[in-house]
Chains A and B, each alone.
Chain A
């Protein structure tokens, strides 16, 4: 007999491509993301010697002349290596306004600067002359802070906390608290959408599962066709329907229900987000419900009636409990999809209908604060995992039926 790998090992080998795929497309990016949220060595790499000098600083007043000389040199070099902008951005995130200070300093110092400060006694005087900020404690704290490769800043920022000058952690001023309210709004919208999907989807699933075969096929197709249609098309369709001059408003005006100058704002706000998200996520509720309901014999309701239960009692005591695995699965699915929803709120949410994902996208694409984006995303991930564990504890994940 040929000596080789055992059949079991060879069978396991078939899963290698899948595991590799997951590793490359899921685990690695997730790891990078989580790393980004606490680790950022950019400033430390651009201004290494400054950071070395500042390490000995006692964080009171301003640092020594050596620090001024070192940072001047390193800023000049960063300008030549075109890394100045990135360092400035990061420092600016800690103390806003410092971007211009950092960028203009090497420019004012001019080219061909030697080891002596130009036009001043000390480097300190030269820099303070360029911008008063160089004489302030907060500036140097910000630079030192930006140079720490490991930081809890992003996570604190993501939950609207900040480190005070004395090192204590405290809530941000009210006007700058954006993320916690946004998380709460996301949670609230997701719960609302899940509840709406359940309320709308339950009767639909029931009709599909227990109607005659011809009707049930038609209904199922009606649920699935939107499912197969591009998300963008569907969202755009809602814009057409709900906008100020849209179909719904036109009909309401034509029927005299609302005045022409009192057209309802149903899109580019929370209403738009709610309506479009509920529609988009509805199939994820209907399909698990349908699959569970189909396995419940209609005879059960007859049996309950024969035992003396009114239709309401029969539903509450016999039917509803048997659909719980589907309710759980559908709700969890819709909720988890909703909590990370991005495209629909971005398109129809307007200002008031934005969710946490839109903020993550903003920090990824526009403000380029990847660290914060990563922290926000990590918190979202933690919340979802937390919910999953909670669901498992309360309902039991093995009781969930997806189809």
Chain B
């Protein structure tokens, strides 16, 4: 069997000898894959990247590249491109000098260097910028130079540590597609760190959701959104309504749960037993407000607290049981109907759109948006 391009085996990292920043990490990245490590700040994702780049040493466990441990390899021998958070461009060199630097330390001939620098600049659409200094460039241009520099020596593996964090929203979205294009063009393996879930969704082949030094779930963006396996993921990726509930009956993959304001059927993620506490997660856009009778298997009554017109949808905040932050989206389509604050309404959803997730002491119901 072919070894994965990058593999973390039982990797632990602690800075002070007591608290683990990374706990027992196991992760395999395939060649040519775009993997994003997604998580809130302090979840250990950057540390994972820095250990792979060689700037930090794992406390225990092994990191393998192409099946071989890189433990004894200093960072300058790893041949991994790194794009840093604040670009780390060398201000005393020109753009051309920055790009030529990795080629010079590799003792490439001058003609070859010039050719590769020009090619890398073309790749990031900065032709003719060789003579400029980083200080004379805009943030977006500096970002492109940093990416070009990490690619110019043609590494097979490129790490990016929140590279778009300093850019404004419009530029960030532009760069997301740019990075995606470059990834497809070159076919390199990219491991990308971000705390922005939308960024992760746009670019990645797979996303690993980090929390407190552990991976909560690793899957394609679509799977993460549609089939979260943990309440944290359900809440972190996109918007979700979480309701505390307890299992009253099980039937294969389906279980009945009591939400306190009615019993509903849901998809059982973990194989619960009767009496188990679960967290029920339902996406706001999957909820029908005042549905036709028989349209949905699960129907609860709720009170509308607030209605906001967003444009493409109406955003309704509801009280369901003691959860006062239950959101439903009414799509802005012909005949969509509406509700007024204070109305008692029926809400409903399909059984498979309700996911019964394992309980999580640090996540209470309604605790949306990390």
Q: Which residues of B from 34 to 62 have beta carbons under 8 Å from A?
A: 53-55
**Which interface residue of B75, B80, B81 has the most chain A CB atoms within 10 A?**
B75
Instruction: Please indicate the chain B residues that have their CB under 8 angstroms from the CB of A303 in the complex.
Output: 82, 84, 88, 90
Verify if B310 is at the interface (C-beta below 8 Å from A). no
A307 to B84, CA, bound (A): 12
Given contacts A306-B81, A307-B153, contact A300 B105 (CB under 8 A): no
Q: Which residues of A from 287 to 312 have beta carbons under 8 Å from B?
A: 297, 299-300, 302-311
Question: Which B residue's beta carbon lies closest to that of A296?
Answer: B91
Interface of A is mostly: helix
A290 → B minimal CB distance (Å)? 19
Instruction: Please indicate the chain A residues that have their CB under 8 angstroms from the CB of B74 in the complex.
Output: 305
**Which interface residue of A300, A305, A307, A321 has the most chain B CB atoms within 10 A?**
A307
Verify if B106 is at the interface (C-beta below 8 Å from A). yes
Given contacts A297-B88, A309-B76, contact A304 B101 (CB under 8 A): yes
Verify if A318 is at the interface (C-beta below 8 Å from B). yes
Instruction: Please indicate the chain B residues that have their CB under 8 angstroms from the CB of A93 in the complex.
Output: none
Verify if A322 is at the interface (C-beta below 8 Å from B). yes
A310 to B77, CA, bound (A): 8
**Set A297, A305, A310, A311: member contacting B86, Cβ < 8 A:** A297
Verify if A351 is at the interface (C-beta below 8 Å from B). no
> By the criterion CB–CB under 8 Å, are B75 and A321 in contact?
no
Instruction: Please indicate the chain B residues that have their CB under 8 angstroms from the CB of A317 in the complex.
Output: 101, 105
Given contacts A309-B76, A313-B105, contact A302 B90 (CB under 8 A): no
Size range of the chain B interface in the assembly: 20 to 34
> By the criterion CB–CB under 8 Å, are A306 and B53 in contact?
yes
Size range of the chain A interface in the assembly: 10 to 19
> By the criterion CB–CB under 8 Å, are A308 and B153 in contact?
yes
> By the criterion CB–CB under 8 Å, are A308 and B84 in contact?
no
> By the criterion CB–CB under 8 Å, are B105 and A302 in contact?
no
A113 to B140, CA, bound (A): 99
> By the criterion CB–CB under 8 Å, are B101 and A307 in contact?
yes
> By the criterion CB–CB under 8 Å, are B88 and A305 in contact?
no
> By the criterion CB–CB under 8 Å, are A302 and B86 in contact?
no
Can you list, as one digit per residue, whether each of B186-226 has a CB less than 8 Å from chain A (1) or not (0)? 00000000000000000000000000000000000000000
Can you list, as one digit per residue, whether each of B253-281 has a CB less than 8 Å from chain A (1) or not (0)? 00000000000000000000000000000
Instruction: Please indicate the chain A residues that have their CB under 8 angstroms from the CB of B317 in the complex.
Output: none
Question: Which A residue's beta carbon lies closest to that of B85?
Answer: A299
> By the criterion CB–CB under 8 Å, are B149 and A307 in contact?
yes
> By the criterion CB–CB under 8 Å, are B101 and A305 in contact?
no
19 contacts between A and B (CB under 8 A): A297-B88, A299-B84, A299-B88, A300-B88, A302-B75, A302-B88, A303-B90, A304-B90, A305-B75, A306-B82, A306-B150, A308-B79, A308-B105, A308-B106, A308-B153, A309-B102, A311-B76, A314-B76, A317-B101
Q: Which A residues lie at the B interface, using CB under 8 A? A: 297, 299-300, 302-311, 313-314, 317-318, 321-322
